[in-house]
Amino acid sequence: MALYFKMLPKILFAPASSFEEMKGNVTGREGFVMFLFISVISMLTFGIIGGSIDTAFMAVPFGFGNLLNGANTIVFFTQEVLLLVFSAWIANKIAIKVGGSGDFSETLAFFSYARIVNFAKAVVSGIIAVWIYLYSLNAIELLSKGIEPALETFKTMAAVSKLFIFVFIVWLIWIQAEGIVAAHNVKKSRGILISAISFILSIIL
């Protein structure tokens, strides 16, 4: 079984060359195993950060909902698996319709590796959680002194979280697009369009 752990950081910033290097050497099953690995290290990373400040709230969800607990882990991770497989299936179907020469197995593999974005989400969620924790401590201290803390800061935190959610969506679509281009030998513009459509449809359906 070929698992390209060393490619994970590179996929975040240079997905085109990464997928070209992996092309023909990875299967959907191997990619799915990597997806499971990414999910576990993402959950553990946030768990360590969140556990240190006693919080389970994830401002930027990465496959386990907004709260890291037993129920959410099962429900939302199942949903994440379905979204991954369904979006790869849709992308593969569309790519073939427009002249692509790839197959579902490699498309699923590349989409699975693209989920390294979830690890970045976990790190950012952890950073925001620490930010919220530290500000909350400061707010409590101010209240104890009869000073009302600035609520604008909480609004800023919410805005930053939403911005990161958007950025990660675009980032994932871009990486998956490069995976489609590599797997199906289609133009980059078509790869981006197919990736965006498959992402939207997987969310809607």
- 164-196 per-position pLDDT tens digit: 999 999 999 999 999 999 999 999 999 999 999
Q: Taking a C-beta distance cutoff of 8 angstroms, is the pair 66, 46 a contact?
A: no
pTM of the model: 0.94
Q: How far apart are CA 159 and CA 112, in angstroms?
A: 29
Tens digit of pLDDT for each residue in 118-166? Answer: 999 999 999 999 999 999 999 889 888 888 887 788 899 999 999 999 9
d(CA 73, CA 70): 5
User: Considering only CA atoms, which of 96, 100, 111, 89 is closest in space to residue 22?
Assistant: 111
Distance CA 122, CA 24 (A): 30
Q: What sections of the chain are H helices per DSSP?
A: 8-13, 15-22, 28-52, 70-97, 104-114, 117-144, 152-184, 188-204
pLDDT at 192: 98
Q: Is 125:62 a contact under the CB 8 Å cutoff? A: yes
- pLDDT for 48-85, tens place per residue? 999 999 998 999 999 888 888 878 788 999 999 999 99
Q: Which residues contact 80 (CB under 8 A, 6 or more apart)?
A: 39, 63, 64
Q: Does pLDDT of 205 surpass 80?
A: no
The token pair at 68 is 């890291």
